[in-house]
Structure 1
């Protein structure tokens, strides 16, 4: 989206749009669900459970981290992933407020 189009919308609209775009892929939903059930998991844990290649899962993890839906922490050579609860609640509140304003 070009700058002029971004500037034409509120910050909340742009934030929701980025988040929904990240959530718009079924693999990312599966990854979020897996991380939610297995906090502190690593990419290889997801590869074993979700029928996708490691590189594909890594690419999806990057997109989820860009919008801060997940957090990562380094433990030795491994990167562990958890849900960013603060961001999840922020998105939930933005969505709720957005739809309440529409009524």
Structure 2
């Protein structure tokens, strides 16, 4: 299996969870801390952090360190790869 297919599998696996998709939607609005990301969810900060780690492993999120503030950012590259993969099948869903 080519390396990019493995990366694509990790991306699609990360996107399979609705909480992680909601986190990405939040980060599409701009960088946010874990506390800011966790606000709308009825879950603990460690649970949100676990979701963020999955997104980081998939390359969908990055974290930086600015003194005591550690903002998370959306990384679009893996989404582009997933979109390119899906666009190969556009003919099938548009033709149905």
Give TM-score, length-normalised by structure 2: 0.80
Give the aligned partner of residue 76 of structure 2.
Answer: 85
Give TM-score, length-normalised by structure 1: 0.75
CA RMSD after TM alignment: 2.3
Q: Check 1:16–1:101 CA distance in 2 against 1; reply closer, same or farther (3 A cut).
A: farther
Give the aligned partner of residue 15 of structure 2.
Answer: 23
1:41 to 32, 43, 54: 32
Which structure is higher in helix share? Answer: 1
Which structure is higher in strand share? Answer: 1
Which structure has the higher relative contact order (CA within 8 Å, separation 6+)?
2
**Residue-pair matches, total:** 93
Q: Check 1:20–1:87 CA distance in 2 against 1; reply closer, same or farther (3 A cut).
A: closer
Give the aligned partner of residue 53 of structure 1.
Answer: 44
Gaps of 5+ in 2: none
Gaps of 5+ in 1: 1-8
